[in-house]
Structure 1
Amino acid sequence: MKTWGVILLVFLLKIQEKTVKGGEDEFIKRKGIQFWLNGSPFYSNGFNAYWLMYEGSEPSERLKVSTSFEEASKHGLTIARTWAFSDGGNRPLQYSPGYYNEQMFQGLDFVVSEAKKYGIKLVLSLVNNYDDYGGKKQYVEWAKSKGQSLSSEDDFFTNPLVKGFFKNHIKTVLTRVNSMNGVAYKDDTTIMAWELMNEPRCPSDLSGKVLQEWITEMASYVKSIDANHLLEVGLEGFYGDDKKQYNPNNTKVGTDFIANNQIPGVDFATVHSYPDQWLSGSTGEVQLSFLQHWVQQHILDSLNILKKPVIFAEFGKSYKVSGYTSFDRNQLYNITYSSIYSSANEGGPAAGGLFWHLIAEGMDNFRDGYEIEIGEKSDIVGIILEQSQKLSRLRKKYTRKMLG
């Protein structure tokens, strides 16, 4: 009996060690308002690095990917959000509908395999709302070149040929077999979630009907190919008519945080936070006050209405915007992080925050005013590290409770 007791203890300790490290053999799942991984709730600090595939496609630049993941891991960051698209233009992944650049795809293969090495989960976005890296405009141009009579970028959401192009991209990415490890993306536990679109907006239909129908169709299509991974829409968090008073300046962009995230197949909600852009010209104090209410309202709605987890998938403050102070930037991070931690500590829906954005040394052409070099010693890096440590301790606490 003593021998079996020792074996059981060793087994439980191994489970605990694997769970604390983030696990490698299970998909992250949703249970109610929480994410779960390897038998316990999953809370995580993370970052955006949209450039990973782009740099990973050049063997001479791959060290930037590896170094970034290594530094991120040292600072307790375990989720990275990045682009799984580059449509037309310079160094495309998809240079025309259904035709792909193998060198770029191998760059994404490298990103996925390196992320696994450093214990980092990936959120992969499938298309852009904006012109950068092609986006919905490029899809519409492709359809026009095939004889379609289209007048708006928003035809991306309704034109059958365009939707067919996008569905083909979804299928191509999800079924891609990684050239470095032989694992299909849809079977790779390194990937945490798919994102339908980076910041979808449909200004031609502020009622929200067009986007609601598009999300419903595309979410169902993703799940028909890949039932293992989580799915999110890529929303900024703007409300529809019912709660537009919570939006900055009552702005409407054709999305609805509540309705869009209630669609079957959408596993969790996302929120972006850029008060320096949305409330430009206002004081730092006004922007921080808005942020506090913005974050709290989305946590409350995720808890009480959606009953799903929420990730604050983009946030930051640019030193290139008039009125910037490092104090206000630090406060923006502190408000976001403390709100996430308070919710998580109470078993609530907030599961993590992903700042915009991480860069490596020597990437000056990617500086947009929001960038963080995580390898530098600075106040903001210290704030990021502290949040990682707090969420890690919280996860360990839950694990110990479950192990008795």
Structure 2
Amino acid sequence: MLGVLSLSGLLAACSGKSGPEGAGSAQAGVAPAAASPTAPTQQSGFVSVQGTHFVLDGKPYRFAGANFWYGAYLGAPDGVGDRERLRAELDQLKAAGIDNLRVLAMSEASGFKRGVRPAIMGEPGVYDEQLLLGLDYLLAEMAKRDMKAVLYLNNFWQWSGGMSQYVAWATGGSVSEHDPDLTGDWNGFMQNSARFYAIPEAQAWYRDAIRTVIGRTNSINGMAYVDDPTVMSWQLANEPRPGSDADGKANADVYVRWIDETAGFIRGLAPRQLVSTGSEGEKGSAGDMDLFVRAHTTANVDYLTFHLWPSNWSWIDHKDPAARLESGLATSLDYIDRHIEVAGKLGKPIVLSEFGLNRDQGAYDPASGTQARDRFYQAIYDRVLQRMQAGDAIAGSNFWAWGGRGRTSNADWMWAPGDPFTGDPPQEAQGLFSLFDSDASTLGIVSGHARAVHALPR
């Protein structure tokens, strides 16, 4: 197991100045950063890593992307999916310059009050073929539009079942006793979810799920997933954390080892595709940048990720984003800069793979204003572009989240089974962070940034 090293010590070890040598095992020591083990050939269509940048067919690859967690659900056959909506929204995103989508690729049936239904995994080892067909359809349609996918294979949070459901299956317990939408105890939920990393049976089921998705052959175009350059990256999970903010550091060693070993397992299955963690960065590492670095030093992780949620983190007011917008923006931009600097020192690219802000006055209605959000998006995009222009380690971003034409008619704004999907997953009000197809001003900002990114020298 790794000992507790300082941030400076870890960075020195990664640069080869000091520290143990190793091949990426969290038990063996801190390994130097490395590019993909099998570099795709020129014109392969696969994204690879060279130093702190992505490369695609011999040219720098930078992207402006979106979170589209429900893409596989829309791609499912009639009864769950809406393929006409999927095609139309992919066309709209592509027209706006969005060429990278981050998508949920595995969900677990659960008793969580706000869990998505149906789920891809009904019980360990049992999978819903209709939803897997939806993932096939999504990837086939993305390939037609020259878009790249980042597919995450688990979730720390309750809305798709996730790690806590694996814990319940393995222990014979119920998720209800740790359901934060029932108990209000988020720290207790997070500590329970983090038990997942150390339960061998849960890990065996998780690896079966990984093999099921990565080992799949697309029923639409006949292409094996591992041979499909549409898949840029496999992501271990959505926002994996070591535990709660208060107690998460106690799980640091097992968490770091889980990342290293799981990333290595995925790399062995899909050597031409990239592997990432899905981490939120410092905030998702028990507030400890040293731990974030520890978790990403392994050569089995190709690039870093981080997320930005200023209203969730009380930097900006949920109910009135305009009230403390400027001070919250200053803190947000500093958060971006610090993560880019860490990535540069580790010698790996980094992606801002989630960011978002509430609508004006904390409203959910798609007809409500987005003035503060637009200011936020523009400032974040300006900083990302500035750092890209400087040649720094930032390689792309995915806003959270595309809501498209999804709408709810429920008085409480919450999703119910059978409702259209939006960018807000079931545990959040439908409209909280969604960018709807009617949000013309925000979509214009997104499109302007995408054009600027694509215009950078290649």
Counterpart residue type for residue 183 of structure 1: M
CA distance in 1, matches of 2:293, 2:258: 15
Q: Which residue of 2 aligns with 1:8?
A: none
Q: How many angstroms does 1:170 deviate by?
A: 0.9
Question: Is 2:429 the partner of 1:382?
Answer: no
Identity %: 27
Q: Which residue of 2 aligns with 1:259?
A: 294
Q: Which residue of 2 aligns with 1:40?
A: 59
- Residue 390 and residue 157 in structure 1: after superposition, are their counterparts in 2 closer, same or farther (change >3 A)? same
Q: Which residue of 1 aligns with 2:435?
A: 372
Query: What is the 5 A alignment of 1:61-140?
Result: 61-89=82-110, 90-140=117-167
- Superposed CA offset, 1:255-313 (max 9, x none): 8221111112101111110101101547222211111101111111111x211111110
Q: Is the 8 A contact 2:156 2:193 kept in 1?
A: no
Q: How many angstroms does 1:327 deviate by?
A: 3.4
CA distance in 1, matches of 2:156, 2:283: 18
Partner SS for 1:344: helix
- Residue 160 and residue 152 in structure 1: after superposition, are their counterparts in 2 closer, same or farther (change >3 A)? same
Q: Is the 8 A contact 2:360 2:373 kept in 1?
A: no
- Residue 221 and residue 213 in structure 1: after superposition, are their counterparts in 2 closer, same or farther (change >3 A)? same
Q: Which residue of 1 aligns with 2:339?
A: 298
Partner SS for 2:155: coil
Q: How many angstroms does 1:252 deviate by?
A: 2.8
Partner SS for 1:266: coil
Q: How many angstroms does 1:24 deviate by?
A: 7.7
- Residue 29 and residue 167 in structure 1: after superposition, are their counterparts in 2 closer, same or farther (change >3 A)? same
- Superposed CA offset, 1:372-399 (max 9, x none): 12x43622111111111111111xx32x
Q: Is the 8 A contact 1:344 1:351 kept in 2?
A: yes
Q: How many angstroms does 1:200 deviate by?
A: 0.8
Q: Is the 8 A contact 2:76 2:130 kept in 1?
A: yes
- Superposed CA offset, 1:2-33 (max 9, x none): xxxxxxxxxxxxxxxxxxxxx98421000000
Partner SS for 2:102: strand
Query: What is the 5 A alignment of 1:3-402?
Result: 25-59=44-78, 61-89=82-110, 90-145=117-172, 152-201=192-241, 202-203=243-244, 204-207=247-250, 208-238=252-282, 252=287, 256-279=291-314, 281=317, 283-303=324-344, 305-319=345-359, 322=362, 326-364=370-408, 365=415, 366=422, 367-373=430-436, 375-376=437-438, 378-394=440-456, 397-398=457-458
Q: Which residue of 2 aligns with 1:7?
A: none
Q: Which residue of 1 aligns with 2:10?
A: none
- Superposed CA offset, 1:207-253 (max 9, x none): 4222101101101111111111111100001169xxx9xxxxxx638
Q: Is the 8 A contact 1:288 1:331 kept in 2?
A: no
- Residue 78 and residue 143 in structure 1: after superposition, are their counterparts in 2 closer, same or farther (change >3 A)? same
Partner SS for 1:113: helix
Partner SS for 1:277: coil
- Superposed CA offset, 1:345-396 (max 9, x none): 12221111110011221443523321112x43622111111111111111xx
CA distance in 2, matches of 1:206, 1:163: 21
Counterpart residue type for residue 325 of structure 2: G
User: Which runs of no fewer than 5 residues in structure 2 stay unpaired?
Assistant: 1-41, 111-116, 179-190, 318-322, 409-414, 416-421, 423-429
Which is helix-richer, 1 or 2? 1
CA distance in 2, matches of 1:363, 1:184: 34
Q: How many angstroms does 1:321 deviate by?
A: 6.4
User: Which runs of no fewer than 5 residues in structure 1 stay unpaired?
Assistant: 1-22, 245-250, 399-404
CA distance in 1, matches of 2:154, 2:325: 33
Normalized against structure 1, the TM-score is what? 0.83
Q: Is the 8 A contact 1:68 1:360 kept in 2?
A: yes
CA distance in 2, matches of 1:271, 1:350: 11
Q: How many angstroms does 1:53 deviate by?
A: 1.2
Q: Which residue of 1 aligns with 2:184?
A: none
What count of residue pairs does the alignment treat as equivalent? 361
- Superposed CA offset, 1:313-353 (max 9, x none): 00010127659973331222122211221222122211111
Partner SS for 1:313: strand
Partner SS for 2:45: coil
- Residue 321 and residue 144 in structure 1: after superposition, are their counterparts in 2 closer, same or farther (change >3 A)? farther
- Superposed CA offset, 1:117-140 (max 9, x none): 111100000001011111111111
CA distance in 2, matches of 1:273, 1:152: 24
Normalized against structure 2, the TM-score is what? 0.74
- Give the stretch that moved more between structures: 222-231 or 199-208: 199-208
Counterpart residue type for residue 348 of structure 1: D
- Residue 209 and residue 239 in structure 1: after superposition, are their counterparts in 2 closer, same or farther (change >3 A)? farther
Superposed CA RMSD: 2.5
Partner SS for 2:395: strand
Counterpart residue type for residue 370 of structure 2: S
**Which stretches of structure 1, 4 residues or longer, exceed 4 Å deviation after superposition?**
320-325
CA distance in 2, matches of 1:326, 1:320: 5
